[in-house]
Structure 1
Amino acid sequence: MKIARHAKIIEIIQVKEVETQEQLAEELRSKGFDITQATVSRDIKELKLIKVMNSHGTHKYATTSPEDSFLSNKLVNIFCQTVIYVDNVDKFIVLKTISGAAPAAAEALDSLKFNGIVGTLAGDNTVFILARNEEDTKVIVQKIKKMINV
């Protein structure tokens, strides 16, 4: 039953933009699965699903390969522990990191594949990010602040 449910979850998120665990549970129920939100939460962890930004600026569940997930988790950890400041001007975002950590922070951002980021450029302790537009800039800055707990 678990294997079938996991296969159905992957199928659902590949076809639909599922934003919440409850939405995923509803989709599974409509497919005949008797499921609770707690089970969906465990399934998400076991499948190593991630949330990525969609074209509407909201998040949806997506799959990732185990190797990518492991590396991505490591990079996000490094990012969260080394970025000390974030600010923006127009479509530019500036991150300040501890000395020597900017390349890893830029790599983490690149691996997270935030919508709206055109590119990153890293020095020793500074990362410049170019966003597509000012609205994307605001969203990206909010996400980064949330990640680093600012």
Structure 2
Amino acid sequence: MKFQRQARILDLIEQQEIETQEELSEQLRALGYNTTQATVSRDIKELRLIKILSAETGKYKYAAASTEVENSFTTRLRNIFRECVTSIDAAQNMVVIKTLPGLGQAAAMAIDAMRDLRVVGTLGGDDTVFVVMRDSESAAQFCADAGELLQ
């Protein structure tokens, strides 16, 4: 059932512009799959779906990421990180990153795409990213590394 549902998800995002997990859940339920938001969220993670900007509507939609797309995506996210970050500061094992308005989530995605083992997790808002690090030393080093990336 899981593999059939995930195959159907890939079909749906290829055929339609689906913006949210709720939309995806509704589409699956219409096709007879009884799913919860948590199940859809796990499927999205397992399928490594990404959100891309639709050329047609200008809104974000789910898409499958190939390795080639993912590598260029990571490069673009690093460039976005360089362009949108205005300040970085650490407090113990936490890092707070300020960005231009509307770019907090893009900066958080860039950090996630870097797959830095020191990072426990990120939370991106409108113009602020909260990064939880493994320890205080990791936070200080991350700030230094990020500062170099911004130069």
**TM-score computed with the length of structure 1 as normaliser:** 0.55
Q: Which residue of 1 aligns with 2:56?
A: none
1:83 to 2:85 alignment: yes
Q: Distance in 2 between matches of 1:107 and 1:122?
A: 8
Q: Distance in 1 between matches of 2:109 and 2:73?
A: 10
Look up the equivalent residue of 2:109 and give its one-letter code: E
Counterparts of 1:1-150 in structure 2, within 5 Å, are 65-149=67-151
Look up the equivalent residue of 1:144 and give its one-letter code: A
Q: Distance in 2 between matches of 1:70 and 1:132?
A: 28
Look up the equivalent residue of 1:86 and give its one-letter code: I
**Displacement of 1:91 after TM fit?**
0.4
Task: Name the Cα RMSD after superposition.
Answer: 1.3
Q: Distance in 1 between matches of 2:117 and 2:86?
A: 22
Look up the equivalent residue of 1:69 and give its one-letter code: N
Is residue 88–residue 94 contact of structure 1 (8 Å, CA) maintained in 2?
yes
**Displacement of 1:67 after TM fit?**
2.0
Look up the equivalent residue of 1:92 and give its one-letter code: M
Q: Distance in 2 between matches of 1:105 and 1:146?
A: 15
1:84-110 deviation per Cα after TM superposition (whole angstroms, max 9, x unaligned)? 100010001000000000000000000
Q: Distance in 2 between matches of 1:148 and 1:106?
A: 15
SS in 1 for 2:82: helix
**Displacement of 1:66 after TM fit?**
2.2
Is residue 72–residue 111 contact of structure 1 (8 Å, CA) maintained in 2?
yes
Consecutive unaligned residues in structure 1, runs of 5 or more: 1-64
Is residue 114–residue 140 contact of structure 1 (8 Å, CA) maintained in 2?
no
Q: Which residue of 2 aligns with 1:47?
A: none
**TM-score computed with the length of structure 2 as normaliser:** 0.55
Look up the equivalent residue of 2:83 and give its one-letter code: Q
Q: Distance in 2 between matches of 1:118 and 1:134?
A: 12
